[in-house]
Chain A
Amino acid sequence: MIPAAFDYEVAESTDHAVQLLGEHGDDAKLLAGGHSLLPLMKLRLARPSVLIDIGGLSDLAYIKDAGDHVEIGALTRMCDIAASDLLRRHCGLIAEAAGQVGDPQVRHRATIGGSLAHGDPASDPPVALLTVDAELVVRGPGGERTVPASGFFTNFFETALGPQDLLTSVRVPKLAAGTGWSYQKFHRRAIDWAIVGVAALVERDDGTVKRAAVGLTNMATTPLRSAGVESALAGRPASAEAFAEAAAHAPEGTNPPSDTNASAEYRTALSSILVRRALEAAVA
C-alpha cells in the first residue's frame, strides 16, 4: 500500500513548523513518528496534500523535572517514556501506558505528541494523561497556550488543536506520595489497540480513599473520565467491596463502539471488570 502523493516540507524549528502550517492551511498535516498518520495514508483514509516533517526537531524530545510536574517534549518516543526513571518515580502510570503501546518497533518511532494529536479514543497514552490531569502546551500563530487534558479531546479523532497549532509538550503532575496506580489493557493479540482499557489512580489516607481518578479507553468517541466511579469511591474504605460497588458505575456516561473486536454490550460489561481490577491493582 502506497500513500497518495503529497508535497513534503521539513520544519527547521518549532516556529518554522507553525509558519509552514500557516502557509499550507488545512491541507497540511504534521509528521512526527508517523505511526498513526502513515497507516491512515497508506489506506488512503487520510490524503493530506502537504506533510510537514517535524521529526528532526530534537529540542522537542526530552523528559525533565520541572518542580511540581514532569515535562515531556512532544517528540519524545514511547520507548523513552516507558523507560524513564523520572516518570516511574513521579508518575509511573504514564510510563506504564506508553510501554503498552504497540510493540517495541512501534515504540521506537511513535511519539507522545503524535499520539495525543491523533485523538484516537482507543489509544493508551491519552487516557493515562487525562487520568492524571496533565496539561498540554500548544504553540500556534497567536503564541503559546496551555490546554487541560480534560478539554483537549473534543470528538472522534478530533482535538482542541487548530489547523495552525503545534503541540509542543505535556506537563504531568507529580503524584502525591503513596498514590497507587494501574493501567489495565484488554486486547486479544499482543500488539492490538485496547478493546477496553482502564487507568486508575488511588490516593489513600489511612485506609480510606482520599481521591480516585479513573479513565476509560475505547468506551466513547473520546478518552473518558469516569465521574461515577470516582465519586462512588471518595471517602470510602479502600476495600475490595467498595471497589466492586464503585466499578458497577463504570458504564455511566459511556458510548462504546461495536466493531469486529467486540460489541458495545461486551465492552460495557468489560469496563466494570477492568475498573475493579485496576482499582485493586492500584492499591496492591
Chain B
Amino acid sequence: MRQISVTVNGTRREADVEPRQLLVYFLRETLGLTGTNVGCDTSTCGSCTVLLDGQSVKSCTMLAVQADGHEVTTIEAMATNGELHPIQRAFHEHHGLQCGYCTPGMIMAADSLIREAAGPLSEAEVRIGLEGNLCRCTGYQNIVQAVMAASQEMQGGVKARAGKGGGS
C-alpha cells in the first residue's frame, strides 16, 4: 500500500492505495464518486474521462498513484450550488444525450477542449476534438451542437484566434 494525496474536486483526499489501483476505481470505489463511468476499459471510449490538472485524461489508463500530488476534477464538480455548468446546460438544451452513459466523459473532454482553444470552436474542431469519446446512441449531431454552443458561451468574448498549424 502507498499513501497518496490527491486534490479531488477542490478537496484534498488522502488514502492508502494499492499501486495497481486505477485512478477510475480510486474515484469510484475509494471515494464513492460514481459519476465517472467505466466503458471499454481499454482507453478507447472516453467515458472515464476526468481532468488531471485541468487536462482531459482517461482515468482507466492511469494509476491512482500517478495522481499523487495532482488535482483531479470529475463531473461531480461541474455544477455549482445546484446550477448547471454551461456545458451541462448546453447538453440539456441541445439534447446531447440519450442513455447518458458517455455524457460525463463527453462533458469533461469538452471542457478541456473548449478551454484549450483560443476562441469558439468550429464544428470540425469539435468533431476532431472529441475523437476520443464514443457515443452509441445519438450519432453525435446533438453532442457536437451542444459543445459548439457551450464553446460560444464560454469563449465568445475571445475573437482573435492564435495560429496553431502551419508548414515547416
Nearest-CB distance from A80 to chain B (Å)?
A: 11
> Do A104 and B66 form a contact, CB below 8 Å, given A6-B20, A92-B166, A179-B168?
no
Q: Which residues of A contact B52 (CB under 8 A)?
A: 108-109
A104 engages B129 (CB within 8 Å): yes
* A262: interface (CB < 8 Å): no
| Contact present for A108 and B168 (CB under 8 Å) | no
Given A92-B167, A103-B46, A104-B56; A109-B62 close (CB under 8 Å): yes
* Cβ-neighbour of A103 out of B41, B66, B132, B167 (below 8 A): B132
State whether B61 touches A39 (Cβ < 8 A).
yes
Nearest CB to that of B38 among chain A residues? Answer: A1
Cross-chain contact B18 with A34 (CB below 8 angstroms): no
Q: Tell me if B43 counts as interface (CB < 8 A to partner A).
A: yes
CB under 8 Å from chain A, chain B span 29-82: 41-44, 46, 49, 52, 55-58, 61-63, 65-66, 69
A-B contact count (CB 8 A): 97
Give chain B nearest CB distance to A230 CB in angstroms. Answer: 19
Contacts A55-B66, A108-B56 given; indicate if A191 touches B168 (C-beta within 8 A).
no
Set of chain B residues within 8 Å of A105, measured between Cβ atoms:
43, 46, 49, 56-58, 109, 132
Residues of B within 8 A of A88 (CB): 165-168
**Cross-chain contact of B168 among A4, A39, A51, A91 (Cβ < 8 A):** A91
Decide: A39 and B43 in contact? CB cutoff 8 A: yes
| B131 x A109 contact (CB < 8 A) | no
Q: Counting CB contacts under 8 A, is A106 at the interface?
A: yes
Any chain A CB within 8 A of the CB of B161? no
CB distance from B124 to the nearest CB of A (A): 13
For A108, what are the chain B residues with a Cβ–Cβ distance below 8 Å?
Answer: 52, 55-57, 112
Is the Cβ of B65 less than 8 Å from the Cβ of A53? yes
Interface centre among A3, A51, A89, A105 (most CB of B within 10 A): A105
Which residues of chain A come closer than 8 Å to B19, judged between CB atoms? 5-8, 51
Q: Does A90 contact B (CB under 8 A)?
A: yes
* Cβ-based interface call for B2 (8 A): yes
Q: Which of A7, A42, A79, A83 counts the most B-chain CB atoms under 10 A from its CB?
A: A42
User: Smallest distance from the beta carbon of A223 to chain B beta carbons, Å?
Assistant: 20
Task: Find chain A residues with CB under 8 A from B57 CB.
Answer: 105, 108-109
- A104 and B56 CA atoms in complex are apart in Å by 7
The interface residues of chain A lying within 8 Å CB-to-CB of B65 are 8, 53
Is B22 in contact with chain A by the CB < 8 A criterion?
Answer: yes
Indicate if B136 sits at the interface (CB-CB under 8 A). no
A-side contacts of B58, CB under 8 Å: 105-106, 109
**Interface: A233 (CB within 8 A):** no
Q: A91-B168, A103-B132, A105-B46 are in contact. Are A8 and B2 (CB under 8 A)?
A: yes
**Please, could you name 7 A-B residue pairs with CB atoms under 8 Å apart, sorted by A?**
A5-B18, A5-B20, A7-B19, A31-B63, A35-B61, A103-B46, A190-B128
- For the A-B complex with A4-B20, A180-B167, A190-B132 known, give 15 more contacts whose Cβ atoms are closer than 8 Å: A3-B20, A5-B18, A6-B20, A34-B66, A35-B43, A42-B42, A53-B66, A55-B66, A83-B164, A88-B165, A88-B167, A88-B168, A91-B168, A105-B58, A191-B44
- What residues of chain B have their CB less than 8 Å away from a CB belonging to chain A? 2, 18-22, 41-44, 46, 49, 52, 55-58, 61-63, 65-66, 69, 109, 112-113, 128-129, 131-133, 164-168
